[in-house]
Amino acid sequence: MVEYVGLDVSKEATAYCVKDGDGKVLARGKVASDPDALFEVLKKHCLCPERIVLETGTLSNWLGRELGKRGLPVTVIDARQAHAVLRLQHNKTDENDAAVLADLARTGFYRSVAIKSEQAQRRRVLLKARAHLVEQHRSRQNVIRGLLGTLGIRFAKGSDTFAARVRAVLDEQPELALMFDPLVGELAALKSAIKQLDRVVAAEVKTDQACQLLMTVPAVGPLTALAYVATIDEAGRFGKSRALGAYLGLTSRRNQSGEMDYSGRISKQGDRMLRALLYGAANSLLTRVRRAHPLKAWARRLKKRTSHKKACVALARKLAVIMHRMLITGEAFAWPQADTKETATA
């Protein structure tokens, strides 16, 4: 008998449902969200599981990897597609969700998502931790700027000497020190933590051949290269390099029905962090890199017809495609034979 399994995973417990090829429920219940516990309960109720399905989520990569190591045929599916089906239920419970996921496994009506390797997952955790610290640092600056602003003390945005300027104000007005010293101390601690993670990123990139290859692309630094490698993980899983544009949400949405056919803004699906880093790299290539390249010239022509932001988005998509091709072929970024300097302004 062939069985199909649906797993509705939560932080503490996972609901499971086992069905046969005709949709008959063979077993159902709840067990701890632990690979060993899931393996034991599935071994008890399944003789030959054809497919085990769970949605994307916080634990999905970890559980998918660990169950796969135990020889189970695990498939992680797109949670957005699964939710579109799950919300049609009259009564939504974990047990019912697991039953619907088992039906999706049985019918094959799902979109699978690649399970990331442990190394890629660890790298993404590193990059997200750094991004969180950067956001907290920016937030603390804005809080200090806003509070001082109520007292008529103003600073320019993005000033590199922000902490020094705040300290100068506190030296002139000692009565404010008791209120602002804790915030300034937090700011310094966050900056130190960011530098510490930057050193970890630099060490990670230094020993990775793929990252070193991607950094031959102009305006692509350690953060962008590491984020790209960690997000793509296995470059060979994409049949065509141009699929990277849609995968990262850098292609426009399309809404077509009858005589109506509308192409809107980019979908913004996929990894938000990598999309932002690629946009930043495209912006730097367009405005700061002085060396001439046909890719840059193409983006500048597009900028004249549309806008700077749209040109950066289009260039970011081009960079994503080129970088994937570089990982497939192992070739470094190609500069034109005539090494000239651009003199035109951005």
Q: Is the pLDDT at 340 greater than 80, yes or no?
A: no
Point out which residues pair with 261 in neighbouring strands. Answer: 256
| pLDDT value at residue 13 | 94
Query: What's the CA gap between 305 and 185, in Å, rounded?
Result: 48
Domain positions in the chain are 3-113, 118-207, 215-329
Supply the pTM of this predicted model: 0.87
CB neighbourhood size of 284 (10 A) = 16
Fold of 3-113: Nucleotidyltransferase; domain 5 (3.30.420)
Q: Give mean pLDDT, residues 20-42.
A: 92
The answer to whether residues 324 and 244 touch, using CB atoms and an 8 Å cutoff, is yes
CB neighbourhood size of 139 (10 A) = 12
pLDDT digit string (tens) for 118-135? 999 999 999 999 999 999
Q: Give mean pLDDT, residues 238-260.
A: 86
State how beta strands 25-32 and 13-20 pair. antiparallel
pLDDT digit string (tens) for 158-200? 556 788 888 888 888 889 988 999 999 999 999 999 999 999 9
Q: Is the pLDDT at 72 greater than 60, yes or no?
A: yes
